[in-house]
Amino acid sequence: MSDLGDLYQEVILDHNKRPRNFQKPEGANRKAEGFNPLCGDQITVYLVLEGDLIKDIGFQGSGCAISKASASMMTSAVKGKTKSEGEALFDKVHKMLTGAANGDPEELGRLAALSGVCNFPARVKCASLAWHTLRAALESKQNPVSTE
Ligand code: ZN
């Protein structure tokens, strides 16, 4: 395996071991649930959306290492971005995961660590689950206020 491959694997293992934003953020006003039946990955993405700004984001759920690491990286990448920046990133990551484009480390930063996933078709859904769920959360209507 190349050095780059090793580095990428390290990034994924690190995010799996210590997932970032693995919690429901305070004041979350959007959420969406995602499920990948092929692997059994489950995820709930929470957003604190202020106008167009993704002010805070978190996720909960369980799944394989790839799905968890991908969710962790996704939340780190879109936190503090605008809705349209988040959607643009979704497109780039989706193209990278499906092999339609190479992961450009300059554009994608650490997300490029997921580029190897496109060689493992069964894993593509694991890696893209968090992103699809993010998009659903961005498009969802504001949740009714609950006392929970
Ligand atoms: Zn999985």
CA of 76 to the centre of ligand 1 (A): 19
Whole-prediction pTM: 0.89
Domains of the chain, by residue range, sit at 3-143
Pull the structure tokens for residue 124.
């593509």
CA of 107 to the centre of ligand 1 (A): 25
Q: Which CATH number describes the domain made up of 3-143?
A: 3.90.1010.10
Task: List pLDDT tens digits, range 66-90.
Answer: 999 999 999 999 999 999 999 999 9
Which residues are near ligand 1, the ion (C-beta closer than 5 Å)?
A: 39, 41, 64, 67, 126
Task: List pLDDT tens digits, range 92-130.
Answer: 999 999 888 888 888 888 898 898 888 888 899 999 999
Which own/partner pairs from 43-46 qualify as long-range (CB within 8 Å, at least 24 positions apart)? 43/67, 43/71, 43/129, 43/130, 43/133, 44/133, 45/71, 45/75, 45/130, 45/133, 45/134, 45/136, 45/137, 46/137
